[in-house]
Every structure is written in C-alpha cells, then in structure tokens.
Structure 1
Amino acid sequence: MLESIRKHSKFVMILLFLLIIPSFIFVGIDQSYFSGSSPTVARVDGQDITQNDWDNAHRYESDRLRAENPGIDSKLLDSPQARYATLERMVRDRVLQVAAQKMHLVTSDAALASTLQKIPAIASLRKPDGSLDAEGYRALLAAQGMTPEGYEAALRRDMSLGQVLGNVMNTALATPAVANAAMDAFLQRREIQVAQFLTKDFVSQVQVKDEDLKAFYQANLAKFQQSEQARVEYVVLDLKTVRDGIELNESDLQTYYKENASRLASGQEERRASHILVNAPKSMPTKEREAAKAKAQAIDEKVKANPASFTEVAKAESQDTGSAASGGDLGYFARGAMVPEFEQAAFGMQKGEISGVVESEFGFHIIQLTDVKQPELPSFASVREKIVNDLKDQQAQRKFAEVAEVFANTVYEQAESLQPAVEKLGLKLQTVDGVTREPKAGAEGVLASEAFLEALFAADSIDNKRNTDAIDIGSNQMVSGRVVSYQPAKQLAFEDVAERVKTLYVEQQAAVLAREAGEAKLAEWKADASKAQGLLPAVVVARDNPVGMPSQVLSAALQAKTDALPAWEGVSMGDAGYAIVKVNKIVPQDTRSEDFARQASLQYVQLISTAEGAAYYELLKKKFDVQFKVARP
C-alpha cells in the first residue's frame, strides 16, 4: 500500500488539498494556530496582551527589582498582587502608545538631546570642550545591556508617551486661597480621647461549652485542614555554579594583565607642567582681551623659537604670581586639578612640548609639559587573584545563558530524574519534606518562589513524578524539581485540633464581647457625656502625626463631623477589639512661614495634577475599549 501511495503521490496530495482546505473555510482557523496557545489576558483597542506577554514582562520587572534591591523578599515579587500590577502597567503603556500614535505625538531630536544632557550619568561624560565622550557613553549603556541606539529609541518613546498625560497634568493650577483651604483640611489637627475595649480583656468572660466548640468546628472546617504536602527533590542552576565551573589558563591571565595595566595600576597618571599666564578675566573689556591675547601669542612664538628659554621668560612675563618666581612650574597634578581647558591641553601633550595659546577663565596660558608620572603598576603576582575573579565574573555572565539552555533541555528531555542534570552540570541535588503549595512563613530561596511551587503542584508533576520545566526565579537563577511522594490535603478530626478550635472560638467570642461592651458605652456616653469613664488622656493627632494611634482610630477621629463638639465615634479594630473616640476640639494651626505655604501650595497642585492625569487615563481606557480578561486578586 505504501508503494502505491509513493507511485501516486501527486494524486494523493491533490486529494488531501481538496479535503483539508474546505475544512478551514467552513470551520475557520483558530488564531492560536498562528500565535500559539497562550490565552489573552487583556485587550486594548483590539490588540491582545497574552499570558506569555504578561509572564515575560513580569519576569523582566522582577529581575530589575531584584538587581536594584538585592535584599527584597521574593515572595513580594511573586505574589498575585505584584503580577497583576505588572499587567496593569502593560495595559497603561499600551493605552498611552495608542493615544500617542493617534494624536501624532512625537519627540524631536532637540528635545531628546536636551533630556539626555540632564541625565547626571551622561552629563558627567562631557569632555572639557563640551562634546560627549562617545566611547564612555557607549560603555555606560553596554554595562546595562543597551546600545545608544536602543536606549535613545526607548527614551524617545517614553517622552512621546509622557506627552499624552503630561499635556493634561501640566494644566493643573490652584489659587493660594483654594490651595490653603484644601491643605488646611488635610493637615488639620484634632484633640481626641480614646477608650479601648480590647479582645484580650474579655477572654476570661467567654463561656466555653463542648457543643459550641463542635458547632464552631463544623462552621469553619476549612480552618482545620492539613494542607497537601510533598517530598521534593530539586536542583538550582545559578551564576555561582557556572562561575565555579570555569577554568582559566595562565596565558589568559597574563593577557588580561597586559591589556588592563592602566586600570590595575594604583593611583592616577600625574603630569608636571610650567606655564606663562597673561591675565585676561572674562569681565575684561574686549579690546583689552584682544591685546592680552596678542601678547600671549608673541610670547608663544618666542618660547617655541627657543624652548630652553621657557623658564626665564616665565619669570619675566608670567602674571601668575604663584608660579612666576619658579619659572612657571606648577608641580605634578592629576586630572580634575586644573580648569578644563588647561587640563585638556596638558593631558594631550608629549613631554617637552609647548602647547600654544590656551584660553581659560583666568586668561591666556602658554604651557610646557615637563614630566609625566605614570601610576605604579603592581606585579602580576599581587593582582593575580583579582584578575581571576574579574575574568570568572565576566565569563560567567556570558556563559550563563548557554548553560541555562543546556539545563532547561536536560530536565525536559530526561524528565524522569534530575540526576542527568546533576551529573552533566555538576549541580547539587537537594531534598526537602513537607513542601506545601503556598510558601511557608520564613521560606527562603526557591521554596519562597510561587512560580516554582505552582509548577511542582501541577497535575503532571504530582501524578507522573516528572521534572518541572526549568523555572527562572530571577537573579540569574533557574530551578527544576520533582515530587518524590505526595500527600493530599485532608480534614483533621475535631479531637486532633480541639485545642486550636478552643483558642479560635474564645478569641472570636471575646472580640464580640468587646464590641458589644464598646457599643453600649458609646450609646451611654453620647446620651450623657458626664458618665464617660476610662478615656485615655487627651492627645493631638493629625495625618502627619498619628502619635501611635491605630489607623482605624486615626481615620475615624479625623473624619468625624465636628458640627457639634465633643463628637463621638465608635471604631471596630477587627480581632483586636473596639474603640470609642471622643473629638474634643480642632486645634488651630501654628503660624506658618511663607516657605511652608509655598510648599503646601505646590503639593496641592501636584495632587490635583495627579488626579487629573488619573481621570484622563480612565477616559482613554474607555475610548480605547480596555478589557481585562483576568480578575484582580
């Protein structure tokens, strides 16, 4: 039969074409056929943001935050709230991109150049003549994994997007009267007294009966479950592992030593120069400056005709009183010690050379370079360890991506065991018991990564005990694991958790008693303030000075209506209990300085500007039909 098909292959192809193509016409082609199976998580102006887009963006954002804050808790970055915040930023960027495109907002070359000049790291690369050190600029960006072209394109894009909301936000303004009224309300101070009815003080009043505990247990079964657990093996590939596997030969070390001699040297290059100065400050009239310059040019021609006379001419002609007596000798100096024009000339000369006329803020200089002192180069032996560390660090960064690909392929292709990855890459196999789907309190490293735990507790991992994919957990770390044994979640019997049931029940009932006692006192004191007993001493609170008050109490105190004083408010503090707040009076503001008033006005305008920008963004979301396909956590 196969031979028959081979003989009539053209006929078979035509038949298949006739059968397959109509199915596409009548059924249609699923978009995922082209874009993969990644589901859509949001849509802006008809353009989809997929799950893959979201995952990649969050991984990049997490890596950036880890690099900027090495001590940050990984659990914060992997939380559902953090992931959703990334999606919201992606949607915001997409909305602004669409708006900028449809409004034809662009950034000119002049605006881009002006912004670049205001960036301190780039401004510091300027040469004495005002031009940009192109090589330094390229090296600065390369250290951050960027090229000048890519960086400038991204900056140009961000500036264009900034115009979308900036054009609205920059119109915010407020009169001093309005700003003062708003800020006075925001910074208002109130004298209050508080009475607290704390849960812990009512614990002894709770009556505990067995039937009540069992009823509480039945009503809260979810609180008394043993979570699913697993015994897990895992391996971690990190930059240190890659670095430790790098072998260097002696010739590489010697080459690096020779090529980086100036960087390894201790201290800076120093130069010794003599000069002849003709005074001509910038404030000098033009004609006098021109005469001074002509004099300097004449001196320049004289000493160039007879370089050996430089010292004697400097003694006779130089107007620098500090150095003329010594023949213009300025001694040794490093970069940064002289005015830019002088430094640029001195460090661009050869020993014995005479510069020509150099203009600075002091006047006109003729410079002779008399000596060059190179920094001392340490011996190879003394810096060998540093060279080894530098080279390993550099090579590890370059090699990590290559090794990571091998790691990912190995754990995927030989998914029945992690041992092949251990043997191929020299990794350490680690085993841990009692791993749960959610990170445990105090968990560190890979066991604090929600992404890794989610992969471990996926159905395929649990049922088939296969390796997880290589999970990127940031900071040049990847992990793969497998479930060795699994114990599903189970309901704990009442007898096994009786003490915990009792503790939770007593706390709940004590909180109820505290609230009831507080509410009763509140009603009594509102009716007759003279009966108020147990109030703490009066304190003055404000939003910027809570004096240790719980947030619920502070909020109630500052939001209470003050038409009639004293004002009374009851406040639930959740499990902690209940509080009564008595607002005695509004405390007048201290006399404010003009500077404070100005700062308050600026702060108010900034708040108004932010609010208007947020409102305009919401309008743009409606205009461009923003749709979130996943719920906010």
Structure 2
Amino acid sequence: MFDAVRNNRKIVQIFLVLICLPFALWGVDSYVHGGGAGEDPASVGDTKITAQQFQQAWRQQQDRLRQALGANYKSEEANTPEARLAVLNSLIDQRLLALEANQARLGVSDEALRNFIARIPSLQENGAFSMARYEAALSAQGLSQPQFEAQLRQDLTLQQLVGAVGESSLVAKSSTDAIMRIEAEERQASEFRFPAAQYSAQASVDAAAVKKFYDENARLFQTPERARAEYVVLSQEALLAQVKVADEEVKAWYDGHKDRYQSAEERRASHILLLDKDKDPAKTKAAAEAILREVQAQPAKFAEIARSRSQDPGSANKGGDLGFFARGMMVKAFDDAAFKLKDGEVSGVVQSEFGYHIIKLTGIHPGKQRSLEEVRPEIVAELKRQASAKRFAEAAEAFSNMVYEQADSLKPAAERFGLKVETSGWLAKAPKPQDLPAYGVLGEPKLLKALFADDAVKNKRNTDAIEIAPNTLVAARVVEYQPAAARPLTEVSAQIESGLKLREAAAQAKKAGEAKLAELQKGGEDKLAWSATKTFSRLQPLPAPPAAARAVFQAPVGKLPAFVGVTLDNGDYALYRVAKVSQPEAIDEARRKAVEREYSTLLAQEDFAAYLAALRARTKVEINQKALEASDR
C-alpha cells in the first residue's frame, strides 16, 4: 500500500522534488527586490515572480520533459494552461519557502558551502576535490562560480527549512502495527455466481426500447470525422541515402583529420600525497621532501611507503596506484610532471591545489594511429551526415515554398527532391491515444490539425510543410474525406438490442443474487454449491476480480461465516462466503521498521502540504492570469 513512496528514502529529498523542479534558484535578495507590475505572472507578499523568471523555469521544465520523453515529447501536449499553472505554483511555493527562510534568518556559512561542494562525487578525482572538474562542470552549465554558489546556498537554506518540517512527523508503534495487521490479513472465501447468461432467455427488449436508447445516446453511434491523405517526408535521413562519397573525399578527409583517428598515449602512475592540513605550505613541503629522500633511498618500497604515508584516501590502500590516464585527466601540475617521467622514474615534489605529490611512473601505453581502411566506414558516415545536413538546410526552404505554391499536388516536390508520395489509411480528426502509433508521421498533432483545416478539406490543398521532428518536414493533402455522421438505426439496432438484453439479464442476475444474499445473512439454509476456498491477501495476487476482492475485504467479519455480494464487470452477480480470517502471529521487525518509515513519509508529506497551505494563507499570493496567458504567446 506504500508502493508510491517505497523507493524514497529521505523525506527532505521528497519535498525538494515536490517544490524544487530544476529551475534556476534566484537567491533571497532577488526575491525581495525587483519586479514591475502588470506583466508579472504572480506576486508573493511584497515580491514579484517576473515574466523572465517564469519563462526560464518553463524552458527548463520543457527541456526536462524533452530529455525524459525523447521522441514521444509533443510540445502541444506539454504546453497546456494546466502545465503552465503547475510551473507557476511551484515557483510560488519556492518563493514562500525562501521568504520564510529569510525571515527566520536561516543561512549557510561559507565553510559549510565549501565542504558541501568538495563532497560532490562528480567534482572529485581520485577521492579528492578537483578544481578542474568544478570549472568544467560550471562551464558546461553556462554558470559562473558566484552564480552556482549563490544558487546552491539558496538550495541548502531551503533544505534546512524543509527538513525541519519533514522530520517532525512521529508515528506511533500501535499505528504501524495496525497497518501491518491489515496489510498481512488473509481471508478464506468461496464463490457462487449467478451468471447473467442464464437469464438472457428471460430478457426481452421491444423495438420502442431500442429506438429510445438510440435517440438518447446518439453520440455513441457517430462515425468520426476522418480522412485519407497522401504525404511526403523531407528529412535529413532521406537525403542521407542519396549522398555518394568518392574515395578521393575520404582520403582528403583522413589526411586533414589524422589527429582524430589517433588513440592518445596513456600513462599509469602511483603517488604519495600530503595534504596541507595545517595551512603551513613550508612545513608540508618539507615533510614531502623527507619522504622523497626515503623513496629515493629505497625505490622498491614506493608502494609500501605510499600505504603508510600517503594522505590520499582513494589510492593509499592500493600503494598509491592511480591506474592509466590520458593527458588532461589530472590537474595540470600533476599531468605535466607525469608525462615528463620515464617508465619507473620517480618525480621530485610536485605541488598542486590538493597538496604535495611524489609521483612514480609505472606504465606507458603509447598512442596509435588508426589506418585509413580501419576508419573508412566512420569517415564515409561523417561525410554523408555533413552532406545530408547541408542538403537538408538548402532544401527545407525550397520544399516549403514548393508545396505552398503548387498546392494542388505533392508530386512536383517529391520529384524535385527524389522523395516518394506515401498514402495513409483512414485518419480520425480526434484519434484515441492508442491509435496514434499506427498514424506514423501523420500522428503529429500540428500536422493532423492542418490536415483537417477547412482549406485542406474543402479544396484538397497541400498543408504547409510542418516540422514534426528535428530535420524532418512533412507536407500532406486530403485525398478522401468523410464528415462525422450518425449511423442509421437499422445499422445499429441489433447491437443495441444485444446490449439491452445483457443489461436486463444482469439486472435479473443481481435481483436473484441479492435475494439469496439477504436470506443467507438472516441465517437461512445454505445449500449453494460453493467453489473451492480461495485465499484473499493484500500481499499476494488476487484470486478474483478487483471488485470482488474489495467486497471480500469490506465484509463485516464479527461473525463467521460472513456473506457478501457484488456485480462483476461481465454482468454476473457473485456471492462470497468468508469462512476464516487470520492475522500473522508475529510481526517481522525489519518489515515493521520499513512500514514505519513509509508511513512517516506519508505523514510528513501531508504535514508539508499543510505547511505550504498555511504559508499561502498568511501571505498575500496573487496570480495574474492574463500575464500567464500572455507568456504562452
């Protein structure tokens, strides 16, 4: 019953996911200042959530969806008023928490911030913080160091507030035990059915009833508006197949890019690292020089000395071994020194931002030039890709113009660009989601909308060339059209009569079943041929349909046997005879603790939602619906 939260181990993390989508956080100071009226989507207290802040949050949310869904991402489906309001509400929640943290004077010291950054695994190298990796990560995100640290400081501040709320939920042992007993309860029940089919002969439906149902439910018998279309796809992939690459081009490319096909030299090294813990570089360097003299006196004992003297937690227990690495993978000072050594040679004392190193080179993998024949397939693929990308860029505008200017046919565009005119099956204007995969490229909502536009339907004109995916344009035209229409009664009367008979038979089965149920519940004689006993457990697969299982678990079992009845989806009426209810003799302690954590998480989520609601109640929050709608444009 706690599957939804089973994998969430930290309450604070859950809350941060709920309210901190990966938007750029705007420090508390920016919350308190700025924001012009009128164009801002929302105000929180005396602060504004600006259009710029909303747009940045919205873009980042769309980028997340695009990454998560890949080819299934549809901008029209993601860009809804509800989705935009959800993003704005998340920003409002962030702002409320930031203002509350500011008022409570919560903050993060410079030392705590430095320690947190130093412990981020992706910013470490060989178990120690890497400034090079830090700078590279910031560069990849387009952030400066002050920007990132301000954002992180804000995030850590919010965690303090969120954690204080989330960790306040307490769960009584008795409550956990009660949940576990309910979860582990087993009920032994037998079944007896009143099949609807056995009453079908008694069910009668006259023509008037059929006509009445048809008139009252005309929408059920509508054929949808639909069309068949022909279409042409211009894509970089299609143009790729048309590209031919000459041997001379391959050779010229290889000669001009030989460095690309050369595996880099790799070196293996071990090191002894002394950290400057006392902030006394001279003292630390002197200690490193003393160890260097010891190594020079006994070179064969380098690994032994590293195990006992190196302060690098990632490599000391391995005798200082760092494995193989290419140039540029280590910090510059270490890198330069390692690539100057000969195999087996030991460096002098090398200073880096981590401290003082003594490096021993223990292996060399020389670089290797791959031959032309070896890399020919890669070069051909690269040249084709470049040529097709160039052709697509050149062809896209001409293709778009041609399908627009010669709107009565797709053939001229197809012939011009060496494409094939494809023909679709019937396409509904408003297809069911499960039908869309069969539509192929025509399942793109923008293209379907264009295909069923008045001009396309009435005049059979080409749609515009519509981009349905990166480097993929599609133009289509209607070749056959059928408007939505009601199917005649004569066509559907047999279907209606059958359905009404089934409904009547189900009603008679229910009537008979309920009469027998009432008799049994009053203590009447039980002569039913019950099925074999089935075990109903919330922890095991159910032996009956969900509706039946719910009825069995809801049956009052103060006195056994207990009887309960339910109508099943197929129209049958089923009686269940609950003969035994059992509870576990002992509660597994490990499972009890797991349930307690999960229950605590649920309570904490409720508390946090109530906390946010209280913040909203005591803070003036206004949403500018017009500004939010304007941001959509």
* Percentage of pairs with the same residue: 29
Residue of structure 2 in register with 1:572 after alignment: 567
Q: 1:437 to 1:368 in 2, by over 3 A?
A: closer
1:90 to 87, 91, 110: 87
Which SS does the other structure have where 1:533 is aligned?
Answer: coil
Residue of structure 2 in register with 1:334 after alignment: 324
Distance in 2 between the 1:474 and 1:207 partners? 56
Residue of structure 2 in register with 1:431 after alignment: 423
Residue of structure 1 in register with 2:27 after alignment: none
Per the TM alignment, residue 607 of structure 1 is displaced from its structure 2 partner at its CA by 1.2
- One-letter identity of the residue aligned with 2:258: K
Is residue 99–residue 164 contact of structure 1 (8 Å, CA) maintained in 2?
A: no
Residue of structure 2 in register with 1:126 after alignment: 125
Distance in 2 between the 1:257 and 1:238 partners? 28
Which SS does the other structure have where 1:334 is aligned?
Answer: strand
Q: Describe how 1:324-403 pairs up with structure 2 within 5 A.
A: 334-335=324-325, 347-351=338-342, 353-356=345-348, 369=361, 372-389=364-381
Residue of structure 2 in register with 1:65 after alignment: 68
Which SS does the other structure have where 1:174 is aligned?
Answer: coil
- One-letter identity of the residue aligned with 1:549: A
Is residue 566–residue 582 contact of structure 1 (8 Å, CA) maintained in 2?
A: yes
Which SS does the other structure have where 2:587 is aligned?
Answer: coil
* Deviation digits for residues 172-200 of structure 1 (CA, Å, limit 9, x no counterpart): 22233333334433454333333344445
Q: 1:456 to 1:246 in 2, by over 3 A?
A: same
Distance in 1 between the 2:541 and 2:603 partners? 25
Is residue 239–residue 477 contact of structure 1 (8 Å, CA) maintained in 2?
A: yes
Distance in 1 between the 2:609 and 2:81 partners? 18
Residue of structure 2 in register with 1:253 after alignment: 253
Residue of structure 2 in register with 1:15 after alignment: none
Q: 1:599 to 1:224 in 2, by over 3 A?
A: same
Q: 1:331 to 1:190 in 2, by over 3 A?
A: closer
Which SS does the other structure have where 2:528 is aligned?
Answer: coil
2:226 to 203, 226, 229: 229
Is residue 242–residue 403 contact of structure 1 (8 Å, CA) maintained in 2?
A: no
- One-letter identity of the residue aligned with 1:382: E
Structure 1 gaps of 5+ residues are 1-33, 279-288, 303-312, 322-329
Q: 1:610 to 1:410 in 2, by over 3 A?
A: farther
2:215 to 213, 218, 227: 218
The answer to whether structure 1 residue 594 and structure 2 residue 594 are counterparts is no
Q: Describe how 1:199-598 pairs up with structure 2 within 5 A.
A: 199-200=196-197, 202-207=199-204, 209-238=206-235, 240-241=237-238, 244=241, 249-250=249-250, 253-254=253-254, 257-262=257-262, 265=263, 269=265, 271=267, 296-299=291-294, 314=299, 334-335=324-325, 347-351=338-342, 353-356=345-348, 369=361, 372-389=364-381, 418=410, 422=414, 427-439=419-431, 442-444=435-437, 445-468=440-463, 473=468, 479-528=474-523, 530-531=525-526, 533-598=528-593
1:195 to 192, 195, 200: 192
Distance in 2 between the 1:202 and 1:79 partners? 50
Residue of structure 2 in register with 1:13 after alignment: none
Q: Describe how 1:145-160 pairs up with structure 2 within 5 A.
A: 146-148=141-143
CA RMSD of aligned residues (A): 5.4
Per the TM alignment, residue 232 of structure 1 is displaced from its structure 2 partner at its CA by 1.7
Is residue 439–residue 447 contact of structure 1 (8 Å, CA) maintained in 2?
A: no
Residue of structure 1 in register with 2:600 after alignment: 605
Per the TM alignment, residue 131 of structure 1 is displaced from its structure 2 partner at its CA by 1.0
- One-letter identity of the residue aligned with 1:351: K
Is residue 267–residue 339 contact of structure 2 (8 Å, CA) maintained in 1?
A: no
Distance in 1 between the 2:572 and 2:268 partners? 77
Distance in 1 between the 2:377 and 2:126 partners? 34
Is residue 300–residue 356 contact of structure 1 (8 Å, CA) maintained in 2?
A: no
Q: 1:594 to 1:390 in 2, by over 3 A?
A: farther
- One-letter identity of the residue aligned with 1:126: E
Distance in 2 between the 1:260 and 1:243 partners? 23
Bigger shift: residues 378-387 or 193-202: 193-202
Q: 1:87 to 1:292 in 2, by over 3 A?
A: closer
Which SS does the other structure have where 2:490 is aligned?
Answer: helix
Aligned residues: 539
Is residue 267–residue 365 contact of structure 2 (8 Å, CA) maintained in 1?
A: yes
Is residue 296–residue 365 contact of structure 1 (8 Å, CA) maintained in 2?
A: no
User: When the two structures are superposed, what TM-score results if normalisation uses the length of structure 1?
Assistant: 0.66
Distance in 1 between the 2:583 and 2:148 partners? 52
Is residue 43–residue 626 contact of structure 1 (8 Å, CA) maintained in 2?
A: yes
Structure 2 gaps of 5+ residues are 1-37, 274-283, 306-319, 629-633
Is residue 236–residue 389 contact of structure 2 (8 Å, CA) maintained in 1?
A: yes
Q: 1:174 to 1:503 in 2, by over 3 A?
A: same
Distance in 2 between the 1:79 and 1:509 partners? 44
- One-letter identity of the residue aligned with 2:346: I
Per the TM alignment, residue 250 of structure 1 is displaced from its structure 2 partner at its CA by 3.2
Is residue 269–residue 324 contact of structure 2 (8 Å, CA) maintained in 1?
A: no
User: When the two structures are superposed, what TM-score results if normalisation uses the length of structure 2?
Assistant: 0.66
Per the TM alignment, residue 605 of structure 1 is displaced from its structure 2 partner at its CA by 0.3
